[in-house]
Structures are given as C-alpha cells and as structure tokens.
Structure 1
Amino acid sequence: MANLPDEIWSLIFELGVKRKILGFKDLCSLAISCKQFKRLSAHNDLWSVILTLEFPSSSQSNGSSKSNYKTSFERDRSRKIAAHKRAILRVESEIALSQNSLKDLEHRMLQEGETIRELTRELKNLQKARHASVALNVWQPEVICGHQKEVIAQSSVPVESRIQALEMELRVCKECIARFTRARDVHKWKMARNQERLASLKYHPVPSYQPEMSIHESQVKPKKMKQLKDCNTI
C-alpha cells in the first residue's frame, strides 16, 4: 500500500467521501497517520464535498473548503448546544410547574378534608337532634325528655333541611377530593416522565459535539500536537 501513487489514494478518498464512508473525523484521523495522507486529506475538493453533504445550506466564503467547513461546523455545534440547553430549561420548567401544581392540589385536598371533618361533626350533632326529636314522641322518664329538649334547643335551624344540605355538601367535597386525586396522579406521572427526560438530556451528549481536549490529550508530544493542530478543533 505504501507504493500506491497519490492518484490512487486521492481516488479512494474521493470515493469514500462521496459515498459517505469517510467523514471529517476520518479525514482528520488519516491526516495524523502519515505525511502523505496529511497532504492528500487536506485537498480542497474533499472538504468541498463534505461541506456540501453535511451543510448544504451553508454559504461559501472565499476561504478554503476546510475553513468553511470548520466555520459551519462550529456554528452548527453552537446551535445544537443552545437547543440542548433550551430543551433542558424547558423540561426543568415543566417539572417546576408540576411541583407547584402538586403543592396546590395537596393544599386544596387538605382544605377539603378539613371541611369534610367540620361537616361530619355538624351532621352528627344534627342527627342527634333529630333522634331526640323523634324520641320525644315516645314515653320516657322526665330526665331523659329534658335532655332531649336541650339537644333540640341547641339547633337553631330546621334539622331535616340542614341535614340534607350537609349531606349534599359532603358529596360535593368528596367529589372534589376525588377530582384532585386524579389530577395529582396525572401531575405525578408527568413529573416522573419529565424527570426521566431531564436525566436523559443531561446524560447523553449533544449530537455531533466533541468536548474540549482533556488533560491527558494535552500531554501528547509537541510533534504530535503539531500534526493535530488543524484537526483538533473540528
């Protein structure tokens, strides 16, 4: 393979690029393998094809196709990073809204529960008054009749109509609690789903984004760094 002329290698590189077998990472890897590949992989026609394939809508400037590709790549990377950050912020805002909604629902459920307890307590007292009213028509000792009259006197509203109103209010409160419970379950499901999405967004890297050079890579020999100079930042 070392005896193959440059024309054959150029044809191989050109076919690989046009058929999308070779990308910019492959050309950069070939460029650091030997001086011959470094010279051939930097050919303007190769980078022009890659630029056209990956960024068909990019504007062509007066510079080389490789520099144009680098500019388009950096612009696209910045756009993807910004879109990734917006997606994270959007999911975090949805989680915050779900948390606020859950707090509000829990508070309203507590209020409805307190209302139910008060209504139940009043309903029991009215039922005692109704039982006492019925018991007055039955022969009983004077002491018991006096106690029943006292219970009836404590009720300042008509017993039957008030009991019906309280039972209606109890049914309404229970329906509200059931509705709040369903809404709470929906918000919990949405929050769990958004938390999974957020974890996935934070775990997976941005597509086509390469992080900065690590400390280990910065300790490469100066000669190797000189060869990587043109490909390192792409």
Structure 2
Amino acid sequence: MLLLAMDTATPAVTVALHDGTAVVAESTRVDARRHGELLLPAVDRVLKEAGTALDAVTGIVVGVGPGPYTGLRVGLVTAAAFSSALGGVPVHGLCTLDGLAYASGIEGPFAVATDARRKEVYWARYDDARTRVTDASVDRPAEIAERLAGLPVVGAGALLYPDAFPDARGPEHQSAGALAALAAERLAAGGGGFLDPQPMYLRRPDAQVPKNYKVVTPQ
C-alpha cells in the first residue's frame, strides 16, 4: 500500500505519503492564497523525499472539506486527475475536520473548529480522535459556544475566538500525514468510513455574479 494524501480545504497546503504502516514523507505550507501554485510542487517534493514515483501510488486520500470554494477545489481536482493518470486508482475522501481530530490524539469528547471566514467556523463534535458524532456545520462562534462549553476545541477556528472557545488547543493546521494515517487505519479495518471525493461547501461561494449589472446592447 502506498497512499498519496492531500488537503487544501484550509490555509495549509499539505501532502503526505503513507506506506500502510507509517508516514514516509510529508510537506505542509500555510498560505491561504496559493493553493494552486503550491500543491503540485509539494507532491513532487514528497515523492522525491520518499525516493519513489507517482506510478507507485496505490490509492489517493483527499480532504473534502468543509472549506472555502477555490482552495478546496484545488485538492479535489488534483486528486481526480492523479487517479485518472494512474489508471483509476481509488480516491478516498475524508472530512477535513476528521484529520485534525485524529492528529489531536484526544481520547475524550471534544470538538474541531476551522476558520470559515466571515466571522464563522466550520466545526463538528467528536467522542474521541477517531469518532465524529455530528455532521460538519458552519456557524458563528457565539452561536455554538454554549453547546461546546467545557469541551476542548481543536484547530485554527478555536484559536481565533478564545472568548467562545476558552479551551482552544492544537494542532492549528491540517496535516496530510494524519489524514493518511486515518485512511490507512480504515482501509486495514475493511475500507469503510470514506466519503465521495466531492466538495463539502456548507454555504455558497464568496464570489458571486452581481445582481444589478449594466447590460449593453447594440443600437
């Protein structure tokens, strides 16, 4: 088994290779505006560090979000393109929040929150690092503070709003290594728990066509 994992649903452009036992190479850069520029060089860097080639990959793991429109699509489109180039190797989708939860290693109930912009967070609750118990949602921190009172909250969204999430914890950013390790566990257990590799937006994109633009017609 050789899994190529990637996630661009958050400001972290993160790529990793996992051999079914451990992460063999990983690259993470935090830059919310350059997902498209950074992803392919990161893949190349990880493959070189591992001393292998793309055609050795047997499966692709990709974070499906939730995340902002443009960045999220970069990872998903790249995963689909690699799958096609490799003769249809499977693409395993995972909720981005699940990767952060897994990396936290927390054994008791907690939540994960990432920055959704517009003074909102993407979030979900977990019973432990491997078990999500709610669907991913998007809300203002003050609207969910009472529901998450007393729980540790992991991720950049929690760290941005300490008044709402006083027990904010790391990791702050997504790790493709954690996402790959979680996928490897699920594959070893029978291959359940994956999502279709389709974007989880939860709301409309920030960029929209103006409603009242001037139409110019020939006279």
Normalised by the length of structure 1, the TM-score is 0.19
Larger Rg: 1
* Richer in strand (by share): 2
* Richer in helix (by share): 1
Normalised by the length of structure 2, the TM-score is 0.20
